[in-house]
Amino acid sequence: MTSTQEIKVPDIGDFESVDVIEVLVKPGDHISAEDPLITLESDKATMDVPSPKSGVVKEVMISIGDKVAEGSVVAVLNPDSSSDTVPEESGVTLADTENASESKTKPSEVEPPSESLPTPAEKSPPATQKESFVKPVKASVPETPTDTRQSSFPLPHASPAVRRFARELGVDLSQIKGSGPRERILKDDVQNFVKHAISNNAGSQTNLPKPPDIDFAKWGGIDLQPLSRIKKIAGKHLHRAWSSIPHVTHHDETDITDLEAFRKTLKIENEGSGIRITLLAFIIKAIVNALKAFPSFNASLSTNGENLILKNYFNIGVAVDTDGGLVVPVIKEVDQKGVLEIAQLLGDVSERARFGKLKPDELQGGCFSISSLGGIGGMSFTPIVNMPEVAILGLTKARTKPVWNGTEFSPRLMLPLDLSYDHRVIDGAEAARFTAHLVQVLEDPRRLLL
């Protein structure tokens, strides 16, 4: 004997109604006992409504965006004849909705067992049925990704918290194989899936729509100026870096009043040497000190996204503005050089970069980069991490500001610092500690001797 049964919303506590944010089944799906049917979301949490029995979904009574309460009918089920009912303490109630006459159905008309269910192609509802099943999401309901699962695949087994985490990342749980008991999908499984996807797509083009081809000449005169070779090469590299790396930028500032006074003293002492002693030479030396204290910044992420490659050498790249665009020559083995030698090398590579005379090896092997706009201006910006590095420091113009010294305000020369980093490798606390360490070194250059 086969009878259809209604599956109702269980006790949901003090809430009079809650939102339906996911509908996990459709008519024709075969489900097992305890498989989730829908996901509800209140102001405090999410919860799944499970099926108390195995069987075939005959009809779904609610859609995404609906509000339901305890006792609302979720779906109508044709239960398997041998399925066991979930214990009553689960809170899900069943109501027999068939007339007694259906119990007299002929044996040949009895619904076949689960192994004789229609094929996936037969179970899939027509397009018009799907459109009537999923209603537009109401304004008060968070947008959820489209459920692309087909009825031929088993429903993913995951907790409401994991489902919500996956929705926030836009991840389809049907694409993930769980590592928990009975292949239950865990939060780590979702995170590993995202990391793997990012790693595989690191060098590929994004799926952004192609921009329209616009005839700008119809509104007035135009001139066509080809991009320089450097900008073409740099543009592809920057686009790949911005698309592949989850960027975060940490902003801070440091008091360089004493450092600037010391720099001017050295400049006077070395006037006849031909060395141009800039603030950047001190910053490069200070960065090496910070990289030694925080090795994860002197690293690269492996191509499979599973390992961090820590480097035992310290090569610093410095962005140089040229007529053709930005180039980033690399000063090697900075940890083995003093400030005067760094200043000399910095002047040399900057000059040759502007005339296009850098060797290929001088543009490779960087561990960390600096992009300085100090000679131009600005208060802050977001530099793009120079892959395969994991961080870059941006510098803008230093300004004199009134700073409270404990008893009064005094004029101090303050330098803005903008640290962009790869959030897959570095978290916010590490970035703050790295910048705080750099601030200490720049405010008291004697720390470079430690």
Catalytic residue ranges: 423
The residue count of the chain comes to: 450
* Residue keyed to tokens 């941006």: 394
Place of tokens 């007529």: 323
Residue with tokens 């090795």: 295
Both tokens of residue 139?
């304004």
- What is the spatial distance between Cα 319 and Cα 259, in angstroms, rounded to a whole number? 22
The rounded distance, in Å, linking the Cα atoms of 233 and 325 is: 10
DSSP 10-49: ---TT-S-EEEEEE---TT-EE-TT-EEEEEE-SS-EEEE
CA angle 234, 236, 241 (to 5 degrees): 90
Whether residue 320 contacts residue 326, with contact meaning beta carbons closer than 8 Å, is answered with yes
Alpha carbon separation from 426 to 248, 285, 380, 431 (Å, rounded): 9, 22, 21, 7
Integer Cα distance of 290 and 280 in angstroms: 15
Q: By C-alpha distance, which of 124, 7, 120 is closest to 60? A: 7
CA-closest candidate to residue 8, choices 49, 42, 59: 49
The tokens for 249 are 């930028």
Place of tokens 């269980």: 10
What is the phi-psi region of residue 312: left when phi exceeds 0, alpha when psi lies from -120 to 50, beta otherwise?
A: alpha
- Do residues 411 and 261 touch, judged by C-beta distance below 8 A? no
Which residue has tokens 């092997």? 365
Q: What is the dihedral of CA 346, 352, 354, 360, to 10 degrees?
A: -100
CB 4 within 8 A of CB 78: yes
Torsion sign over Cα 392, 398, 399, 405: positive
